């Protein structure tokens, strides 16, 4: 078995250049657009618009490893790095995403200490983790020169999503797990897990969120959650959240269309089952 991950025992790497990590260290927030469609033009253009990262959604969308790699290639040299939310916290899913060159991995349903450890181990090389050393593709698109292994260990962001009641129950142990950078609260799934069917204004959900926030702060983990508007980003940032998942490319299209068309008196058409969207 590998040694337990310990951040202060990394192989030395002077290039902690990650814009996302450095902003988080400074107490600033980062906001990422969610990519759900397999359209490289859309993803690459989004990386020029001011978002701090792209959240590639591989849990809830048809994005594949091929499309993930294409997006990494298309955004090379642009300011917004590519992060991937994999479908589950497994070593082989983490390493396959990382080997495409992403700079962060987001793990859903991290509800046990075991899953938290798997997330940390999957994103770090031995002796601190269990990531395999087959990063030939990632090396070709990595922004820094020198040792990819040291640089990746120092810069890849590990994000664990807490979205089940069982995760809240074990949050102290999860938050104390070395090698995890961000605890992200999946507020919708957490609401469902608590029996609230998605309601976001229930005191039970607020209590669960407060428990996660407290544990993260005690253990030096950054906090994240979804935010769909500038007002939400500012409000949640004031509460200590820094890592935000924003709207999808389709959501941005809807916002833009509504802004343009409603000023012309054109309303959104009611949806019909026979239409594509």
Residues labelled catalytic: 60
Length of the chain: 277
- State the virtual CA torsion across 196, 202, 208, 212 in degrees, nearest 10: 120
Of residues 110, 101, 105, 62, the one with CA closest to residue 84 = 105
Contacts of 12 (CB under 8 A, 6+ apart): 150
Cα separations in angstroms, 185 against 14, 29, 171, 189, 263? 31, 15, 11, 9, 36
- Taking the C-alpha atoms of residue 65 and residue 70, their distance in angstroms, rounded to an integer, is 9
Cβ count near 138 (within 10 Å): 20
| Nearest Cα residue to 81 out of 60, 59, 64, 97 | 97
What's the CA gap between 171 and 177, in Å, rounded?
A: 10
Q: Which residues contact 255 (CB under 8 A, 6 or more apart)?
A: 247
């Amino acid at each position: 078995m590998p040694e337990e991950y310990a951040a202060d025992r990394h192989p030395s790497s002077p290039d902690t250049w990650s814009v996302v990590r450095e902003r988080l260290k400074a107490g600033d927030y980062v906001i990422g657009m969610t990519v759900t469609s397999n359209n490289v033009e859309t993803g690459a253009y989004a990386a020029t618009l001011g978002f701090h990262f792209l959240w590639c959604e591989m849990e809830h969308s048809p994005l594949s490893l091929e499309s993930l790699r294409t997006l990494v290639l298309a955004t090379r040299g642009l300011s917004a790095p590519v992060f991937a939310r994999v479908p589950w916290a497994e070593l082989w899913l983490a390493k396959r995403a990382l080997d495409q060159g992403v700079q962060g991995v987001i793990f859903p349903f991290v509800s046990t200490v075991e899953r938290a450890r798997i997330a940390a181990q999957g994103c770090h090389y031995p002796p601190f983790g269990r990531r395999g050393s087959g990063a030939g593709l990632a090396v070709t698109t990595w922004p820094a020169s020198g040792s990819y292994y040291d640089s990746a260990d120092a810069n890849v962001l590990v994000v664990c999503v807490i979205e089940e009641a069982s995760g809240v129950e074990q949050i102290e142990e999860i938050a104390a797990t070395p090698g995890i950078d961000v605890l992200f609260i999946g507020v919708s799934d957490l609401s469902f897990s608590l029996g609230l069917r998605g309601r976001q204004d229930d005191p039970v959900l607020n209590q669960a969120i407060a428990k996660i926030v407290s544990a993260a702060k005690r253990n030096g983990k950054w906090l994240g959650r979804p935010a769909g508007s500038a007002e939400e980003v500012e409000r949640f940032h004031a509460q200590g959240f820094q890592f935000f998942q924003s709207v999808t490319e389709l959501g941005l299209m809807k916002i833009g269309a509504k802004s343009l068309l409603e000023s012309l008196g054109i309303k959104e058409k009611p949806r019909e089952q026979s239409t594509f969207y």
